[in-house]
Structures are given as C-alpha cells and as structure tokens.
Structure 1
Amino acid sequence: MRDYDPDWPVRFQQECRRLRFVVGPALKIEHMGSTSVSGLSAKPIMDILVGLPNLLRAKSTFVRPFAQLGYTYIPEYEAWLPGELFFRKRMPGPWTHHLHIMEQCNPRWRDFLLFRDYLRLHPEIAAAYGSQKKSLADEFGKNIEGFRKTKHRL
C-alpha cells in the first residue's frame, strides 16, 4: 500500500487516451478503485472500467488490441468475476493496471461507481477505509484472495 499519489488521475487520463484507440469514443471508460479517490492510500495498480454493449463480442474484438497496449487477458478470472473480462498490464509483474471490461447494465458497473463516488464525497470515510485496507494488507501479505474477501466485508 502507498499513500495517495496526485499523479494517479493524470496517469489515468493518459491511459484512457491509449484505450480510446481500441474501444473508440462511444464506449464509457471510468477510473475506479482506490487510485481514483483523492487522498486514499492504495496499491499502485490503476483499476480501469470499460463499459460496452456486448461482452461476448468484446471478447472476440478486444483481446488482441489490448495485448498490443501491454494488457494480458486472464481468462481464469471469468469464473471469479462473472460477466467481466479481466486484463492486467505488465505481466508477469509487477503489473500496473487492471482493466475490467463489462456491460454497463451489469450491477457491478453501478456498484463500482457508486462506491467510488461515495468515497470521493466522504473523505473521512475514505480515510478510515484506507486505514483498514493498510491493516489488511499487512495481515494478508501476498494472499490476494484473503485480502480481497476481507476487504469486501468492510
């Protein structure tokens, strides 16, 4: 975990421009996760959410172009994250970005953005959440699944 980096929004905008070459101007791209909330400590991995109209078509259309931008598609995450295509940038690591591709009608799309926006509007809650995440990161170390499951109960 790292303290908030004010360069994270700038880096998101730069990456968003690169992604636009693949997905075009019509699709929605959002910065989500802890790096999208000012003042919140986070793992220095940028989470990017891309909304599209058809997930099956996206799988056949975007895997290769995203690979040309340095993203690796992780198909085994489909069982863990149903209704989502998941990519990591800079595999085998340390990776720098997570790309979450889903239909905007997916309830997780709404939940991701509601949570982000709530933390943005309530910095005191964001600070408490960040403090708890730091404690969990210390407790779970490299056990990502344990960290993730426990974090989602906060």
Structure 2
Amino acid sequence: MHESNPHWAADFQALARVLSSALDGLKVAIAHVGSTAVPGLAAKPIIDLDLAYAPAVPWAALPAALTPLGYVHVGDQGLAGREVFKRPGGGPPHPVLDRIVHHLYACPANGAEYQRHVQFRDFLRHDEPTRRRYEALKRQLAAEARQDAKRYAALKQVRARAFVAEVLEQAQRQRGGPAPRGTGQPLTP
C-alpha cells in the first residue's frame, strides 16, 4: 500500500494517450478507475483503466486494436461484463506501457460493471469520510496479508464486498435510482 501520489493522474493520461491512438476511430471512452483514480486515497501503485465501448463497437475490434501493442485478451477472469487484457513479457517494447504498471479492462459502456467502477470512484472522490473508511479497511487487509498480493486480493474479495455494496447503494440513493447490479466483487486495487 502506498500513500496517494499525484503522479498517478499523469500516469493515467500517458496510458490513455497510447490507448486512444491505438483505438482511433472506435467509440471507446478510457476511464481511470480503481483506487489510484481517487485523489487522497492510499493504494497499490497500479493504474486501472476501463475501456468503455459503445454498443456499436464490434467486440473483435478491441483485441485487434490492442494486439499490436502487445496486449492479449485473457477473458473475463470470472467477472462477467469485464474483459481483461494483459501484456505478457516478450511483447514489443513500449516506453509508456512498460514503465507504468497497469491493469486494462474492457466493459460495455452501458454495462453494470463499468457503471459500478465509475460510481464507486466518483463517490469516494467526493465523500471524504467514506474514502477514509475505505482506506482504513484496505490498510487493515494489507497488514493482514503481509505483502502477499494473492492473500490481499482474497481478503479484499471477501471483506470489501459489503463495503462496496453499501457505497453503491448510498450513491444511488443520492442520485435517485437503483444501484448497478454487477457481481458485487470489490473493485481493484
């Protein structure tokens, strides 16, 4: 867990420029999600990006645009509505993509998972007490995991789920609509 870093926003922008160039002509929004997208929130220093694609975008266009950058589609990894792309070693070198640790996801722009990511991020950005509670929970889980990333992820899956659901319900009450129904899995990182 690292203290909030103002460079995370610049790292996202650098990644977004590269991805935007590769996705040129496709109706895809690139969103900074996850804890590094929330100023003032401690996080693992990994930039999470969602490629929110319009319904008119054929799915095959996304892997086709990302493959030249060295990305490989690895499926939804058990989370329907969120496809994962990774850059395994041995791909083409890239000065930005190799320098900035990141996770890349593709979600339908009108899908529940993308909506959950954005609503959770936005709520934490604007509600300091909730942001502090989430940070305290993450620090507690990190201490229990003792630098074991897999254990941290497993603990977070179980213990942050209720917190995330609570925040999304509160966000929807404020907006006057139902909370997006995704898997209820905690957002990364």
TM-score (norm 1): 0.83
Aligned to 2:50: 49
Aligned to 1:125: 130
Aligned to 2:3: 3
Q: How does 1:1-154 map to 2 (within 5 A)?
A: 1-24=1-24, 26-54=27-55, 57-58=58-59, 60-75=60-75, 77=77, 80-89=78-87, 96-140=101-145, 141=148, 142-143=150-151, 144-154=153-163
SS in 2 for 1:57: coil
Q: Is the 8 A contact 2:30 2:49 kept in 1?
A: yes
Query: Whose Rg is larger?
Result: 2
Q: Is the 8 A contact 1:4 1:40 kept in 2?
A: yes
Q: How far apart, in 2, do the equivalents of 1:150 and 1:20 lie?
A: 35
Query: Between Structure 1 and Structure 2, how many residues are aligned?
Result: 149
Amino acid at match of 1:85: E
User: Which is richer in helix?
Assistant: 1
Report deviation, 1:123: 2.0
Aligned to 2:169: none
Report deviation, 1:27: 1.6
Assess, with a 3 A threshold, how the Cα gap between structure 1 residues 109 and 11 changes in structure 2: closer, same or farther: same
Q: How far apart, in 2, do the equivalents of 1:42 and 1:136 lie?
A: 12
C-alpha deviations, 1:28-63, integer Å up to 9, x for none? 1110110000010011111111111349932x2232
Q: How far apart, in 2, do the equivalents of 1:42 and 1:91 lie?
A: 24
C-alpha deviations, 1:2-50, integer Å up to 9, x for none? 1111100011011100010122263211101100000100111111111
SS in 2 for 1:4: coil
Q: How far apart, in 1, do the equivalents of 2:154 and 2:18 lie?
A: 30
Residue segments in structure 1 that go unaligned for 5+ positions in a row? none
- Percent of pairs identical after alignment? 27
SS in 2 for 1:153: helix
Q: How far apart, in 2, do the equivalents of 1:76 and 1:55 lie?
A: 20
SS in 2 for 1:2: coil
Assess, with a 3 A threshold, how the Cα gap between structure 1 residues 81 and 120 changes in structure 2: closer, same or farther: same
CA RMSD of aligned residues (A): 2.4
Assess, with a 3 A threshold, how the Cα gap between structure 1 residues 102 and 76 changes in structure 2: closer, same or farther: closer
Q: How far apart, in 1, do the equivalents of 2:102 and 2:131 lie?
A: 21
